[in-house]
Amino acid sequence: MITKELLTEVLGKQVVKFKVKPRTVAVKYMKYGKSISGNDYQTIERLFINKYELAYKCKELALKYDIELLSTLGYCYIEYKNYEDNNIYFEDYAKSFKADTEPEAIFEACQWILENKELKDD
């Protein structure tokens, strides 16, 4: 499942709207800047990203939280990079996600990380 919050975090752009297509995700996002006259402006820009590229970016985002996403056909597993250092028990370590496709499982895992990132900060 892809959400606006997940896309915003992964792409580093304020996502306004998005549409999932068979192989790509079409994203509308806010672009901020300054005009030649120095005035601030904001516009809506469009971006098309391949689902597999987006899944890879999700894996990169997970690494920022010291979490590695291991994936295969329709499954994604969470592996904490510093398992011994964080006093995380096996039940937390063995978190897995199942979906129809590998990218969808990765998106679900990444969404879970964003929703539970405060657990990592403890």
pTM: 0.81
pLDDT > 80? residue 109: yes
Q: What is the mean pLDDT of residues 103-118?
A: 91
Which residues, other chains included, contact 73 with Cβ-Cβ below 8 Å and sequence gap of 6+?
101, 102
What's phi and psi for 68, nearest 5 deg?
-110, 135
Mean pLDDT (the chain, rounded): 86
Which residues, other chains included, contact 22 with Cβ-Cβ below 8 Å and sequence gap of 6+?
none
Q: What is the mean pLDDT of residues 98-120?
A: 89
How far, rounded to the nearest angstrom, does the alpha carbon of residue 39 sit from its chain's CA centroid?
A: 33
Task: Give the lowest-confidence range in 17-21, 58-62, 115-119.
Answer: 115-119
In tens, the pLDDT along 36-94 reads 888 888 899 999 999 999 999 999 999 998 888 999 999 999 887 655 555 544 445 55
What's the confidence (pLDDT) of residue 91? 47
